[in-house]
Amino acid sequence: MVLAGTPPWHLLARERHALHWTKLKRDAPRGSDAEEEEFMKDEEIQEETLLRWQEEWESAAFGRWTFQCIPSIRPWIDRKFGELTYFTAQALTGHGDFRKFLFSIKKVDSEICCHCDRNLVDTVQHTILECPKFDKERQGLPPGSIPELVSEMLKSEDRWNLISRKFACILEKKRHLNEMPRPPSQAAQQAAPTTMQASATT
């Protein structure tokens, strides 16, 4: 919901009720001797929705990687530029072509990156910033962690486009590599760390 810039439905319902009730009260006929009643402005009601949304976002049990990337909702929803592409959404959610995620949903048998020999868990951070397989594609990418890059993206349309393109170049190449058949020996090597970890815990 944060990526889409849309508050949760229960907050939207509360806001619409408040806006409707306030309009009815404001437009209701009053006698000449009636005291002037103060009502919240529409902008104040919408601001209250944003504040409640931010509080819920900070305490939510889900979307914690996205929260690291977008800890404050306001700069994200107030931006006047920046198309959320398929690959940028993957980078901001961690739900995509990353073995840590795929392992969590039982799509692969190991979290370890299959494109380098560093024996590291394949996360968004590893793929986009660390894996040597994508050194060429990440050339020109500003320094910093993924959350820092997202903060950089929000500074201008040019920065957004540059970083978003780099995400796409890296993840497009990774998708292409993953579609290529791997030798059985390489697949066995990728499963080995998981087997060794299981043996160590028994």
10-19, 25-34, 92-101 — most confident range: 92-101
Picking from 156, 154, 158, the residue whose alpha carbon sits closest to that of residue 72 is 154
CA–CA distance, 115 with 121 (Å, rounded to integer): 11
Q: What is the pLDDT of residues 30-57, one digit of tens each?
A: 655 545 556 778 888 899 999 999 999 9
Average pLDDT over residues 1-28: 87
pLDDT for 197 beyond 90: no
Q: What is the pLDDT of residues 69-111, one digit of tens each?
A: 999 999 999 999 999 999 999 999 999 999 999 999 999 999 9
3-state SS of the chain: helix, strand, coil percent to 5?
60, 0, 40
Mean pLDDT of the chain, nearest integer: 88
Average pLDDT over residues 64-73: 97
Query: At 184, is the pLDDT very low, low, confident or very high (cuts 50, 70, 90)?
Result: low
